[in-house]
Amino acid sequence: MMRIDPVERHLFLEGVFMRYGYDFRQYAEASLDRRLSTLLTQFKVSSLLELLKKVLDSSDTFRDVLPYLTINTTEFFRDPLFFRTLREVVFPVLKTYSRIVIWVAGCSTGEEVLSLAIALKEENLLDRTTIHATDINPKVLKKAKEGIYELSLISSFNKNYVTAGGTNSPSEYYTAEYGLARFNSKFLENTVFSEHNLVTDAPFIEANLILCRNVLIYFNRELQDRAFNLFARSLVFKGYLGIGSKETLRFSNTANYFDTIDSNQNIYNLKVQPVGKSAASLRKPT
């Protein structure tokens, strides 16, 4: 890994923010430096200042750079016991609502969205649910909308689906052709895909359930607090929040807003609404 000069990192991130409005300045430095080092190699430049000039001169170059700055690691039914807990603990409560709104923040290429939609369908909840799937990266959103994946991913889908409490044959949900798996488009009919930046954007919905898993580990403490506050402002009273296995609310300044529902799977319940929260503050993502 190439060594990243802290001054150059600062100037590069400031330039990206000022020119394009994407704010990576409070991402965890160790993870960010690994991605910046990869960028230098991929773009065959010797310094971040040289890369910054290319990025500022060309929005096309910035679109090529953006995927390297975001994290898109995901998997169908990732951490399957999390999805089993949703089925056993959260979904029974959601069944008492006539309409359900779910936000999948940082949805990446869509594997988690499809996993959630399949679980909702099997629990007879999908038809009354609207899923808002958001990400900072327009390229991964495009892939998520298509619902088409490499066939090599299906072995983990099949295995995780069963462990997650799936009730049907996994093969019912996709067709395989030419090395690709195409998932039935009906599972995404109630999903709205939108760009949304957890760092800079405001709340835009009031959700019954928010999933943001394995995203916040790349934020520093201050940025994590901002995201947790955003989620608290985006949940209805007694709404649920699910985060990643390596993430925690424990040290957040919003921890007192939530009750812990399942400490093993990091599922929480909004018990206190933030001061000043109102529908008037909500807006749609761009």
Q: Are residues 93 and 64 in the same domain?
A: no
pLDDT higher than threshold 80 for residue 279: no
Phi-psi bin for 244: left (phi > 0), alpha (psi -120 to 50), beta?
Answer: beta
Provide CB contacts within 8 A for 64, sequence distance 6+: none
User: How many secondary structure helices (H) and strands (E) does the chain include?
Assistant: 10, 10
pLDDT higher than threshold 90 for residue 275: no
> Do the domain assignments include residue 207?
yes
Q: Hey, what are 251's tokens?
A: 């040290």
Dump pLDDT digits (tens) for 149-181. 999 999 999 999 999 999 999 999 999 988 899
Q: Which amino acid is at 185?
A: S
Which of 184-188, 200-204, 255-259 comes out lowest in average pLDDT? 200-204
In degrees and rounded to multiples of 5, residue 219 shows phi and psi of -100, 150
Q: Are residues 87 and 55 in the same domain?
A: no
Q: Are residues 22 and 88 in the same domain?
A: no
pLDDT higher than threshold 60 for residue 5: yes
Predicted local distance difference test score (pLDDT) of residue 74? 81
Q: Are residues 31 and 124 in the same domain?
A: no
Which of 176-180, 274-278, 279-283 comes out lowest in average pLDDT? 279-283
Predicted local distance difference test score (pLDDT) of residue 65? 87
Q: Hey, what are 103's tokens?
A: 């936000």
Q: How far apart are CA 68 and CA 209, in angstroms?
A: 29
Q: Hey, what are 249's tokens?
A: 């609310």
Q: Are residues 42 and 156 in the same domain?
A: no
Q: Are residues 101 and 123 in the same domain?
A: yes
Provide CB contacts within 8 A for 117, sequence distance 6+: 126, 131, 187, 188, 190, 191
Predicted local distance difference test score (pLDDT) of residue 72? 66
Say how many domains are in the chain: 2
84-100 burial string, b = 16+ CB within 10 Å, else e?
A: bbbbeebbeebeeeeeb
Mean pLDDT for the chain?
Answer: 89
> Do the domain assignments include residue 48?
yes
Q: Where are the beta strands (DSSP E) in the chain?
A: 100-105, 129-135, 148-150, 174-177, 180-183, 191-195, 207-212, 235-243, 258-262, 267-270
> Do the domain assignments include residue 74?
no
Residue 241's DSSP bridge partners are: 210, 268
Question: Which pairs with CB-CB distance under 8 Å and at least 24 residues apart come from 95-98?
Answer: 95/123, 95/124, 95/125, 97/128, 97/208, 98/128
Q: Are residues 200 and 242 in the same domain?
A: yes
Predicted local distance difference test score (pLDDT) of residue 214? 85
> Do the domain assignments include residue 248?
yes
Predicted local distance difference test score (pLDDT) of residue 220? 83
Q: Are residues 277 and 234 in the same domain?
A: yes
Question: Of 22, 37, 69, which residue sits at a domain end?
Answer: 69
Question: pTM for this structure?
Answer: 0.82
Q: Are residues 112 and 90 in the same domain?
A: yes
> Do the domain assignments include residue 1?
no
pLDDT higher than threshold 70 for residue 284: no
pLDDT higher than threshold 90 for residue 107: yes
Q: Are residues 87 and 47 in the same domain?
A: no
- C-alpha distances (whole Å) from 157 to each of 152, 183, 265 are 10, 12, 19
> Do the domain assignments include residue 130?
yes
Q: Are residues 37 and 96 in the same domain?
A: no
Residue with token string 């495009």: 142
Instruction: Average the pLDDT over 39-48 and give the result.
Output: 89
DSSP label of 187: G
Dump pLDDT digits (tens) for 57-73. 998 898 888 878 876 66
pLDDT higher than threshold 90 for residue 27: no
Find the domain containing 35 and state its range.
6-69
Q: Are residues 94 and 53 in the same domain?
A: no
> Do the domain assignments include residue 75?
no
pLDDT higher than threshold 80 for residue 21: no
Question: Of 45, 69, 93, which residue sits at a domain end?
Answer: 69
